[in-house]
A and B are shown apart, each in its own frame.
Chain A
Amino acid sequence: MKNIVKIALISSAACLALVACAKKQQPQTDPAAEAAPAAAAQDSASAAMTQAQADSLAAEQARLEAERLEAERARLEALINQIMSEDVYFDFDRSELTEKAKELLAQVGELLLKEKRFTITIEGHTDARGTEDYNFTLGAKRAMKVKEFLAAYGIENSRMESVSYGKEAPKAQGETEEAYSQNRRANFRVNIKQ
């Protein structure tokens, strides 16, 4: 739920930024349109034509821009969703990355290499067993292992933050091994660098 809100915020911020750019472009075309009447003031009809053409051109440009923006927003959203869905799982009281985890992380690494504006927060979690205190240290170790892997993949450390939630934010409820294994994980939050 929180993630959805975040995506909505990010995408609306991106929209705003692009709309702002589109607006800035308009004054650039305006001086040309105004210069034309000054040069050939007698041919007001053709000037009006030019004006209308310029207007429709600008409108067309804005529409294309909006479409491009929407496509970009959808692409980013898909990427963010993909990264946020890539939970990495661990064995009990372990912080080593499994082969499966490494495969997933390689995909995340690829995405981050392509999309330089993304910064991520890596959250380390544990299952419900054990003390709060030790589980904080275990979550921190897990988040760090993920960070180290991505750093080795070529992601700048400045784009990554790691934080431990210990056993405080379980994904699955219950005292079954199934729930435990779902909760021994690291997951990602994505932000877009301004």
Chain B
Amino acid sequence: MRENLKRFVWGLVLALACVFPQGVLASIDTIAVDVGISVFKTTPIGIVPFEEKPGIDWIEERPHQILTRDANLSGRFDVVASEKFNLALFSRSKAKHYMTGKVEPTADGRLAVDCYLYVSQSKTLLLGERYTVPQKELRRAMHAFFDKVIYQLWGERGVASTRIAYVSKIDGVKQVVVSDYDGFHRSQITRDSTISMMPVWTRGNKGLVYVNFKTNRPRLYTKNFGRPEKPLFEQFDQTYSPAVNPVNGELLFSSSKDGKTDLYIGNMETGKARKFAYLKSNQTSPAWSPYATEVLFTSDRGGGPQIFVMGKDGSDLRRVTFMGRYNERASWSPEGDRIAYTSMDNGKMNIYTCALDGSDIVQLTNNAGNNEHPTWSPDGKLIAFSSNRSGTYQIYIMRKDGSNVTRITQAGENTSPTWSWFYDENKPQPKEGSK
């Protein structure tokens, strides 16, 4: 069964290679198909290549290719690809809508891209956007359009314009980098000779909080993009595991002193912080609930690490995980109903989700190296994680049911992804020329 599936997928890849001969496969690699029953309800959507005026020297992927990848990654759509509008195909595939557009070069060397969303049956235009951008900004323009399509069809915000912060080994030193959610437009944030790690986003995606070892110990720093770095909570000895409160921006973090690790909560502006919970056990890996009313964390009170939850005032402490000896680093789904965490069994790390009472455990990764550090997309549809299934640690995205695993980093060693918050819809990603 699995063999057949594999054969089918490779057949598909070969077929695709024939259709899109140049450069496409280099960046699109959604080949891994996870077994397991998909619980995803996806909507078929037609995608038709954009009408092209001559005179464009393509270095990037074509607009429809970028939209196809966004649609495949989104966890919301099944792509029905067609070389041109084909009502019979779209009807048969139940693709009620399709996307297409026009692209032409401008006199100053940019691209003018018109993007359309149509109703298949009636060819009614639901959404039209024009972006005039340099070719290297095309990808982000298409992400912006794709998120508008999601909003049009689902009434929800999409994640095609979001970003991911992660740790990348550069010249042998772990540094914090940021890229678009699909792995493109990567930029390096820290440039230290000492290890940087554990990046999380501050509210409004203005910057990051992360750990650096420049004082020979783990310590938290914050940096707004384009601004200098600032040490945080220097009154504490060793600080790590940052978690930004999604409502008021306060920082929950771990601090170890004399072998004891506790959670603290502090204001990054004033530098003031206080102990969050008075517990005998060690606590780490805090994570906020979507509306910051409760906190997940890991405690070693049972010997090994297990996941617990309590109210933000320290009340109503209860244990979430009971299966296995090593359950760590939980994160709360944006929809609030489930948590994702990493569990170790026989020395191998794998990603699981479960309900908040610890029931309904679903193993998302299996038999593919170590899989760690799950982070939810802000719409709750996807989970990014790091895995060494290919031999080196790389960042992957999957749907929240574990299907559709797609690798988004290609070279070096990349770990510890953290998904950004939603990007403000009022600030489209291409800085100039949109609309």
Contact = CB atoms under 8 A, between A and B. Distances in A.
Interface of A: 93, 95, 121, 129-134, 136-137, 140-141, 143-145, 147-148, 162-166, 168
Contacts of A132: 197-198, 240, 416
B347 interface: yes
A180 B346 CA distance: 14
A1 to B, nearest CB: 14
B326 interface: yes
A133 B241 contact: yes
A61 B357 CA distance: 79
Contacts, number: 87
B259 A162 contact: yes
Interface in B302-333: 304-305, 326, 328-329
A136 B300 CA distance: 13
24 contacts: A93-B304, A93-B326, A129-B344, A131-B342, A131-B349, A132-B197, A132-B198, A132-B240, A133-B328, A134-B284, A134-B305, A136-B238, A136-B256, A136-B261, A137-B254, A137-B256, A140-B238, A140-B259, A141-B259, A162-B259, A163-B216, A163-B217, A163-B237, A164-B256
Given A137-B300, A165-B213, A166-B218, 12 more contacts: A130-B305, A130-B349, A131-B285, A131-B342, A133-B241, A133-B284, A133-B298, A137-B256, A140-B238, A141-B282, A147-B258, A164-B218
Interface string B221-242: 0000000000000000110110
Given A93-B304, A137-B261, A140-B259, A131 B373 contact: yes
Contacts of A163: 216-217, 237-238
B259 A145 contact: yes
A152 B197 CA distance: 35
Given A137-B284, A168-B195, A129 B349 contact: yes
Nearest to A129: B347
Interface string B273-295: 00000000010110000000000
Contacts of A137: 254, 256, 261, 282, 284, 300
A130 B344 contact: yes
A134 B285 contact: yes
A136 B256 CA distance: 8
